[in-house]
Structure 1
């Protein structure tokens, strides 16, 4: 692939309308994001219908802004990629239709990108990482551990049995009256709290598998809050710090188990002396969680890679890069958007429990 092969990426799977322009040499020429946080904050979470209308209103302006930032026109674009799932289907359709229209009008390749694969490969956009590597994908809607062996080839080692870590942050922040989005709000409140002051459970800690569970932790926090008199009298900062520590411990414990399995499984085929753990998704920006994971990675002999914050949260640069990873395999314009699209279709749910993909 020529180093100057350039793709315009579009991301619209949730509440960010984003467009980015990335070249095969990893140059990010533009990375524009129009946030809907203020719109959804008053509802305490994302309202799908509102999000879809906002994407429709903003998509053209965001694409135009990306081209302007890059000092490019459509003549400089060699291909176009858009998130085709998983996500809120209304927003996914907006981005997909825009990408297909541009591809058809300009006679350039179209790439339907799995949003999760964008996160999964984002570490390779910012660092020189070879395959295979272990991925902790931890975001508002997903918490998974995957072995990444090539673009399009993933083995899911563990997943959440109920809520994702970011979802737990959002729900608990709402319970505590800290607002939306919950992750940054809880991290801010936790900075002045005592993480050891309030006992909270660590679901599945020490289990032989790599799965997660956060729903019970949310219930435990709600119970503690009620016993402490509610948001008016409870030590909210201590609760936030205790919750953050509990989530960090759960993520670290399950990732520790995954590193043990990954190191054993790749020892005969992986020639590198150092295994790699990539952490991607919006929750990866939490400093306390990163520090906890860093400790476990160091102990296991793994190098740890976390993309810059702008590439951890939902963005279009990772979508463009995922398309560049398979630039010679474009999709047909009749590709249908998917509200659900697992990276590892062969993975089975944890025994006895449902699981979101």
Structure 2
């Protein structure tokens, strides 16, 4: 039985996990706090984490009618992420583990995302994992738990970051991903030909900085935008971003002869991305694994599940557990 914490960015999350039949997953969003700034303010995020984490812990246990006496392991995200935010979760988890003499399991946030789609299903290795969020755009070959090969990554902006920046250019609300997804449903995705970064490069790397700049210049060129203009630009940008993710991921599946593809991270909640991947994977005979939408954004349940696959990492050496905002996933 695992009590897990994730405070990697601006969502405070606590989860109690035994198996897919007995769990709780509490997430406290800070979108309202950071929306006025158009992005996350690390100090404000950390302060809110500190204010809510104890209450959320109590709530996570209450929802499954459990107490601290039922907990066997504590798990916590140690990185990557925002340092002030990570420090709150790591300090709280260490204090709780020490006070109750419980072993603690450090978890890499990206590793949590990789295995989130398998929370309630069997894991069939090998599989390709596309992790797409506000801070990450990575394509991995996963041979087994702990054995990863990084095939490609963004060379500049993460795709979720590009969504946020384009939304800001268009005057849309924060976070930009859901806003663009919603607006795109009324737009024409073929009106503007938005470039696809590194489209013709043989590597599996991605680039979204140039796409953002193209949209910025397009908006400047058009001048006073109508509602139709904004919807069409949003739809065109979204199609471009999704297309390049789909094309490179499926090419990697074909090149490596891998029939299982998982997608995770906040951007995996995007409706066009999910629909396009489903359609293309069905045509290509690829088994697509998507997480439920509640496990796409940052959450402690994916941290708990990842830690359940790595109980050998548990330790009573609390001093060795430190927050690392630049933590990398060990890859071959």
Question: Could you tell me whether the CA contact under 8 Å between 1:165 and 1:214 is conserved in 2?
Answer: yes
Find out whether 1:276 has 2:270 as its counterpart. no
Q: 1:103 to 1:223 in 2, by over 3 A?
A: same
Matches within 5 A, 1:23-102: 23=18, 25-102=19-96
Output the CA distance in 2 between the equivalents of 1:333 and 1:201: 48
Match of 1:307 in 2: 291
How far residue 28 of structure 1 moved from its aligned partner, in angstroms, is 4.4
The counterpart of 1:321, out of the listed 297, 305, 308, is 305
Residue 14 (str. 1) matches residue 1 (str. 2)? no
Counting matched residue pairs gives 330
Q: How many angstroms does 1:179 deviate by?
A: 1.2
CA 1:28–1:148: 2 relative to 1, 3 Å = farther
TM-aligned CA deviation for residue 185 of structure 1: 0.2
Q: TM-score, normalised by structure 1?
A: 0.89
Alignment of 1:131-142 (within 5 A): 131-142=125-136
Does the Cα contact within 8 Å between 1:115 and 1:319 map onto a contact in 2?
Answer: yes
Alpha-carbon shift at residue 206 of structure 1 (Å): 3.5
Higher helix share: 2
CA contact (8 A) 1:208 1:257 kept: no
Which secondary structure state, in structure 1, belongs to the residue aligned with residue 124 of structure 2?
coil
Q: Secondary structure at the match of 2:37?
A: coil
The runs of at least 4 aligned residues of structure 1 exceeding 3 Å deviation read 230-234
| Offset of residue 207 of structure 1 | 2.2
CA-to-aligned-CA distance 1:134-178 (integer Å, 9 cap, x gap):
101011100010011222221100000100110000000011000
User: Which secondary structure state, in structure 1, belongs to the residue aligned with residue 182 of structure 2?
Assistant: helix
1:14-61, CA deviations, whole angstroms, 9 ceiling, x for partnerless residues?
0000001111x3234211011100000000010111111111111111
Task: Give the alignment's Cα RMSD to 1 decimal.
Answer: 1.4
In the alignment, the residues of structure 2 paired with residue 107 and residue 133 of structure 1 have an alpha-carbon distance, to the nearest angstrom, of 37
Unaligned runs of 5+ in 1: 1-5, 267-274, 347-357
Output one character per residue of 1:246-290: Cα deviation in whole Å (capped at 9) or x when no partner. Answer: 101111111122112331xx6xxxxxxxx2100000100111011
Structure 2 CA distance for partners of 1:28 and 1:163, relative to 1, 3 Å: farther
Cα separation, 2, equivalents of 1:133 and 1:74: 36
> Offset of 1:345 from its aligned partner?
4.8
Q: Are the counterparts in 1 of residues 132 and 160 from structure 2 also a CA contact under 8 Å? A: yes
Pairing 1:191–2:185 present: yes
Note the C-alpha offset of 1:118.
Answer: 0.4
| Residue 333 of structure 1, aligned match among 318, 322, 329 | 318
2:17 & 2:179 partners in 1: Cα distance?
31
Question: Is the 2:150–2:331 contact (alpha carbons within 8 Å) kept by the matching residues of 1?
Answer: no
Secondary structure at the aligned position of 2:322 is classed as coil
Distance 2:184 2:82 in 1: 30
Query: Secondary structure of 1:13's partner?
Result: coil
1:175 equivalent in structure 2: 169
Kindly indicate whether the alpha-carbon contact (under 8 Å) linking 2:117 and 2:292 is maintained by their aligned counterparts in 1. Answer: no
TM-score by length of 2: 0.96
List aligned pairs for 1:336-351, cutoff 5 A: 336-345=322-331
